[in-house]
């Protein structure tokens, strides 16, 4: 069509030119008029598209005001078009009501407010605004997941997705593929970011102690404190009640024990001297929540007097809500026969024997930890044709404790009986007469398993933080651990030489001075370091350095007394003179 028009114009111009050449001067004004018209038409053709584009852009900048209440959305769009001379076309599936009040806003913003709230989109073309439902216009986002499984995030995000969207979890690549309406995508991305956070970790210290009941009763144990017994026993199902202590005696022995009663709603001091328990093996006796220092001192008192044996003292870190399992022992093999259609198949299987601890920790509040506990101690009793006979002591419970508190599970008892024969050599072997030179006795031994478990919350560090956040590594906890090592007190001191204990104590005190210089325990740490370097390691130069730092950084410290000056700095000054002499 365009080619034919150009050919006609060229033919017409040639005709005009011939006429002018022939001297037809009357035609010249007509020729000039035609050229002017052609120029105007050409200009319109060249800039038509540009004008259309400007018009499309300008139409969205139109300032409008609108006030509708519970109006049909199609009617609202029609009123908007009539009031501001707009061309608006709404699709057949555009339905619903709208309530909105707008004053002097851009048309683009008004359309966003009206349509996006209903899940519709619009397009502008040739000065016509078309409103449609975005059935085939889904946005796609690929989100990397760092800390949790994408499949778990997918489950939570499904509640925020539209019925037209989809979420695909790729666990192998740690990412999510989200397809949904553009109006839903922002919410989905925000929720995914909230769900993908660094989880808590829980550091679990456990001590499994086996105590012989006779040793325990000879020593005597007293539980004291200012608390409601019922509150102390929270979270553990127990058959034990504070109505009195009961005594277990071998057959034929006379009872000398007394029974005391305790009011469980008042301050208490429950004492169990020269008594034991008549609970059967595997029955849960009691469970108390103690501070770590109390629990540690109780264990240490028994072990240092050879009254108890430490079966295991594992420490393990677990993610929030994930199971931590520790097994210390051996795998005992046994054969199992399986009868099949073709005959009997013999296979070898293994069973764990020893000490096992299974813990599932959950942080349920700011400082509360819910522990699912399953301690177990097993030993081989006898190997039979049907399989091994296993003696097991185990307990399963749930308990709610505070961060850093100790849970105690006790009463997992085992009764052993042994026959002891004594005789005088030669005389005891003589028939008949030898009876007078022989002695036979039966020994009853009851062993009780106690489990002490202390959880600590290890909170994730923020990038700007440069110091540990766990209460286990707080300045007070570090100082107490160092002092316990110096005093040979607590589980951490067992089996360690004096040099090893003092070296570890130096490490704890230095952690305080390095990471917590502004804490109230920093001057205490410098004091302990100076004493260790001067009195034990005989490193007087280092002791003098600790003294100078203490004087410079903590001028108001109580350690800077005259007595301390004479006691602590005497050797340091001598060391300084020796250094100068060298």
Q: 61-135 domain in CATH 2.160.10.10?
A: no
Which is nearest to 422 in space by CA: 435, 407, 438?
Answer: 438
422: three-class secondary structure by DSSP: strand
Contact assessment for residue 176 and residue 195, using Cβ atoms and an 8 Å cutoff = no
Q: What is the pLDDT of residue 575?
A: 54
529 exposure class (CB count in 10 Å sphere: 0-12, 13-18, 19+): buried
Residues 6 or more apart in contact with residue 239 via CB below 8 angstroms: 279, 283, 284, 285
Q: What pLDDT is stored for residue 59 in this prediction?
A: 76
User: Given the structure tokens 């009876």, which residue do they identify?
Assistant: 435
Would you state the pLDDT for residue 360? 92
Q: Phi/psi of residue 575, each to 5°?
A: -65, -35
The contacts of residue 22 (CB under 8 Å, 6+ apart) are none
372 closest CA partner among 382, 381, 380, 362: 362
Q: How far apart are CA 95 and CA 72, in angstroms?
A: 7
Q: Which CATH architecture has domain 138-198?
A: 2-Layer Sandwich (3.30)
pLDDT (tens place) for every residue of the chain, 582 residues total: 444 455 555 565 555 555 544 444 444 454 444 444 444 444 443 333 443 444 445 777 888 888 888 888 888 888 888 888 888 888 777 888 888 888 888 888 888 888 877 777 777 877 888 887 765 567 788 888 888 888 888 888 888 888 778 899 888 888 899 988 777 888 888 888 888 888 888 988 888 888 876 543 333 333 333 333 333 333 333 333 333 333 333 333 333 333 333 333 333 333 333 333 333 333 334 444 455 455 555 566 666 565 677 887 888 888 888 898 888 888 888 888 777 777 777 788 888 888 888 999 999 877 889 999 888 888 888 777 777 888 888 888 899 988 888 888 877 777 777 777 777 787 778 888 777 777 777 777 777 888 888 899 887 655 444 444 445 568 888 898 888 888 877 666 766 788 888 888 998 999 899 888 888 899 999 999 988 988 888 888 888 888 888 888 888 888 876 445 545 555 555 555 555 555
Output phi, psi for 351, to 5 deg: -125, 140
Residue 239: predicted pLDDT = 37
Confidence at residue 361, expressed as pLDDT on a 0 to 100 scale:
92
Residue ranges per structural domain of the chain = 61-135, 138-198, 202-228+267-380+390-458, 475-580
**pLDDT score of 296:** 57
Question: Distance (Å, rounded) from C-alpha 449 to C-alpha 392?
Answer: 11
- Kindly give the interhelix angle for 28-60 and 2-21, rounded to the nearest 10 degrees: 150
The residue whose two tokens read 């070296």 is: 503
Query: What are the start-end ranges of the E strands in 218-264?
Result: 222-225
CA 187 to chain CA centroid, Å, is 25
Burial 421-454 (b: 16+ CB within 10 A, else e): eeeeeeebeeeeeeeeeeeeeeeeebbbbbbbbb
Going through 341-489 in order, the beta strands assigned E by DSSP cover 343-363, 368-384, 387-394, 397-402, 406-423, 438-458
**What are the residues whose beta carbons fall under 8 Å from the beta carbon of 159, sequence distance 6 or more?**
none
Question: What does the block give as tokens for 309?
Answer: 């044996």
Q: Give the C-alpha separation, 319 to 203, whole Å.
A: 9
Using alpha carbons only, give the angle 94, 98, 103 rounded to the nearest 5 degrees.
120
Distance CA 153, CA 348 (A): 42
* pTM attached to this predicted model: 0.44
CATH number of 475-580: 1.25.40.10
Give pLDDT, residue 574. 55
* pLDDT of amino acid 18: 53
The whole-number pLDDT of residue 370 equals: 92
Distance CA 417, CA 200 (A): 47
């Amino acid at each position: 069509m365009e080619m034919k028009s150009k050919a006609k114009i060229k033919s017409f111009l040639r005709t005009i030119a011939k006429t002018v050449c022939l001297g037809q001067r009357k035609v010249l004004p007509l020729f000039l008029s035609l050229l002017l018209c052609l120029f105007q038409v050409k200009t319109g053709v060249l800039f038509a598209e540009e004008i259309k584009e400007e018009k499309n852009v300008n139409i969205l900048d139109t300032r409008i005001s609108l006030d509708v209440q519970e109006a049909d959305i199609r009617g609202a769009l029609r009123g908007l078009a009539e009031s501001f001379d707009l061309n608006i076309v709404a699709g057949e599936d555009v339905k619903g009501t709208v309530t909105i009040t707008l004053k002097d806003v851009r048309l683009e913003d008004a359309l966003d407010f009206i349509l996006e709230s209903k899940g519709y989109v619009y397009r502008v073309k040739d000065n016509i605004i078309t409103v449609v439902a975005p059935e085939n216009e889904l946005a796609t986002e690929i989100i990397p997941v760092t800390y949790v499984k994408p499949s778990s995030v997918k489950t939570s995000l499904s509640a925020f997705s539209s019925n037209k969207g989809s979420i695909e979890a790729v666990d192998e690549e740690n990412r999510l593929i989200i397809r949904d309406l553009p109006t839903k995508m922002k919410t989905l991305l925000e929720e995914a970011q909230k769900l993908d956070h660094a989880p808590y970790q829980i550091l679990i210290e456990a001590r499994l102690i086996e105590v012989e009941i006779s040793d325990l009763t000879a020593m005597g144990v007293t539980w004291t404190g200012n608390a409601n017994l019922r509150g102390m026993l929270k979270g553990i199902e127990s058959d034990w009640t504070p109505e009195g202590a009961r005594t277990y005696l071998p057959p034929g022995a006379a009872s000398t024990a007394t029974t005391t009663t305790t009011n469980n709603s008042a301050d208490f001091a429950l004492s169990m001297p020269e008594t034991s328990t008549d609970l059967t093996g595997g029955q849960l006796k009691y469970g108390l929540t103690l501070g770590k220092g109390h629990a540690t001192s109780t264990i240490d008192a028994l072990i240092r007097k050879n009254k108890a044996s430490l079966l295991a003292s594992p420490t393990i870190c677990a993610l929030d809500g994930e199971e931590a399992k520790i097994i210390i022992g051996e795998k005992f093999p046994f054969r199992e026969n399986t009868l099949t259609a073709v005959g009997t198949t013999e296979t070898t299987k293994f069973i764990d024997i020893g000490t096992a601890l299974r813990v599932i920790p959950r942080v349920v509040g700011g400082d509360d930890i819910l522990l699912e506990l399953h301690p177990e101690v097993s030993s081989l009793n006898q190997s039979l044709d049907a399989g091994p006979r296993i003696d097991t002591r185990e307990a399963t419970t749930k308990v709610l404790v505070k961060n850093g508190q100790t849970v105690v599970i006790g009463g997992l008892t085992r009764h052993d009986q042994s026959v002891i024969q004594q005789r005088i050599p030669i005389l005891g072997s003589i028939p008949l007469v030898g009876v007078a030179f022989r002695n036979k006795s039966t020994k009853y031994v009851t062993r009780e398993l106690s489990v002490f478990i202390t959880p600590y919350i290890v909170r994730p560090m923020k990038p700007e933080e440069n110091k540990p956040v766990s209460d286990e590594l707080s300045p007070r906890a570090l100082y107490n651990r160092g002092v316990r090592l110096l005093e040979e007190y607590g589980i951490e001191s067992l089996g360690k030489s004096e040099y090893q204990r003092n070296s570890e104590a130096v490490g704890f005190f230095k952690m305080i001075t390095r990471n917590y210089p502004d804490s109230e325990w920093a001057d205490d740490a410098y004091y302990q370091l100076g004493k260790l370097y001067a009195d034990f390691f005989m490193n007087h130069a280092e002791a003098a350095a600790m003294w100078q730092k203490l004087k410079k950084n903590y001028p108001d410290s109580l350690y800077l007394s005259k007595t301390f000056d004479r006691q602590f700095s005497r050797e340091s000054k001598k060391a300084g003179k020796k250094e100068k002499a060298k």
